[in-house]
Amino acid sequence: MYQRERERERERDYREEMARSTGKDAQALFHSLRSAYAATPTTLKIIDLYMGFAVFTALIQVVYMAIVGSFPFNSFLSGVLSCVGTAILAVCLRIQVNKDNKEFKDLPPERAFADFVLCNLVLHLVIMNFLG
Amino acid sequence: MVNDGTFYFDEKLVNMREQQGPLATTSSVVRGLTAFSSVITESLNLTGDKILGIAKFFLGIGIPGDTKNFFDQVDSLACLENNRVSIPLILSLPSTVISLTKKDSLKVKVNTVLGSHAPPLTVTLVRAFSSSARDNSIIENQELKFDPQDAVYFLDDLPASFDVGEYIFVFKMLVQDSEQQTVYATGTLTQVPIYVTGLIKIENAKIAVLDSDLGSVETQKKLDLAGESTVSVSANHLQKLRLSFQMSTPLGNAFKPHQAFLRLRHETKVEHTFVVGSSGKKFEITLDFLGLVEKFFYLSGRYDIQLTVGDAVMENSLLRDIGYVELDLPEPPENASRPPPQPVDPYTRYGPKAEITHIFRAPEKRPPQELSLAFLVLTILPLFGFIIGLLRLGVNLKNFPTSAVPATFAVIFHLGIAAVLLLYVLFWLKLDLFTTLKTLCFLGVFLMVVGHRTLSHLASASAKLKSA
Which of B361, B372, B390, B414 has the most A C-beta neighbours within 10 Å, making it the best mutation to test the interface with A?
Answer: B390
The predicted-structure confidence for B285-318, as pLDDT tens digits, reads as follows: 888 888 888 888 888 889 999 999 998 888 888 8
Residues 6 or more apart in contact with residue A132 via CB below 8 angstroms: A72, A74, A75, A78
Q: Is the pLDDT of residue B2 over 50?
A: no
From chain A, pick out residues whose CB is under 8 angstroms from the CB of B428. 128, 131
Query: A53 contacts in B (CB within 8 Å)?
Result: 382-383, 385-386, 389
Question: Mean pLDDT, chain B, as a whole number?
Answer: 82
Q: Which of B193, B225, B229 is nearest to B206 (CA)?
A: B225
Nearest CA in chain A to B421: A121
CB distance B431 to A131 below 8 Å: no
CA distances from B339 to B93, B299, B345 (A): 51, 9, 18
Cβ separation of A42 and B451 shorter than 8 Å? no
Q: Do A110 and B436 touch (CB under 8 A)?
A: no
Question: Residue B4 pLDDT > 70, yes or no?
Answer: no
Q: What is the pLDDT of residues B408-434, one digit of tens each?
A: 777 888 888 888 888 888 888 887 888
pLDDT digits (tens, 9 = 90+) for A49-68: 899 999 999 999 898 888 88
Backbone angles phi, psi at B325, to 5 degrees: -125, 130
- Give B51-81 pLDDT, tens digit per residue: 888 888 888 888 888 888 899 888 888 888 8
Q: Given 3-state DSSP classes, what are the helix, strand and coil percentages for chain A, each rounded to the nearest 5?
A: 85, 0, 15
Q: Among residues B44, B20, B14, which one has the least CA distance to residue B32?
A: B44
User: What are the b/e assignments for B263-274, b being 16+ CB within 10 Å?
Assistant: bbbbeeebeeee
From chain A, the residues in CB contact with B417 under 8 A are 117, 121
Q: Is B56:B5 a contact under the CB 8 Å cutoff? A: yes
Q: Are B225 and B199 in contact (CB under 8 A)?
A: no
Task: Determine the residue among B364, B369, B373, B386 to mutate to test chain A binding: the one whose Cβ has the most chain A Cβ atoms within 10 Å.
Answer: B386
User: Across the strands, what pairs with B281?
Assistant: none
On the CB side of B99, CA atoms within 13 Å amount to 7
Task: Output the CA angle B426-B431-B436, nearest 5 degrees.
Answer: 85
Please tell me the predicted confidence (pLDDT) of residue A87. Answer: 94
Residue B12: the pLDDT is 57
Asked whether residue B384 carries a pLDDT value surpassing 60, the answer given is: yes
Question: Which secondary structure element, helix H or strand E, spans residue A114, and what is its range?
Answer: helix A109-131
Q: Per residue in B199-229, pLDDT tens?
A: 888 888 888 888 877 767 777 888 877 778 8
**Site from A48, A125, A129, A131 to mutate, B interface, most B CB atoms within 10 angstroms:** A125
| Residues linked to residue B145 through DSSP beta bridges, in sequence order | B154
Measured CA to CA, the distance from residue A65 to residue B366 in angstroms comes to 12
Residues with Cβ within 8 Å of B11's Cβ and at least 6 positions away in sequence, in order, are B19, B20, B21, B22, B25
Spatial separation of the C-alpha atoms in residues B179 and A52, rounded to whole Å: 142
- Order the strands of the B259-266 sheet from edge to edge: B231-236, B318-328, B301-310, B259-266, B271-275
Size of interface A-B (CB pairs under 8 A): 77
pLDDT at B46 over 80: no
- pLDDT exceeding 90 applies to what percent of chain A? 24
Q: CB-based burial of residue A31 (10 Å sphere; 0-12 exposed, 13-18 middle, 19+ buried)?
A: exposed
**Which residue from B124, B120, B38, B122 is spatially nearest to B81, judged by alpha carbons?**
B38
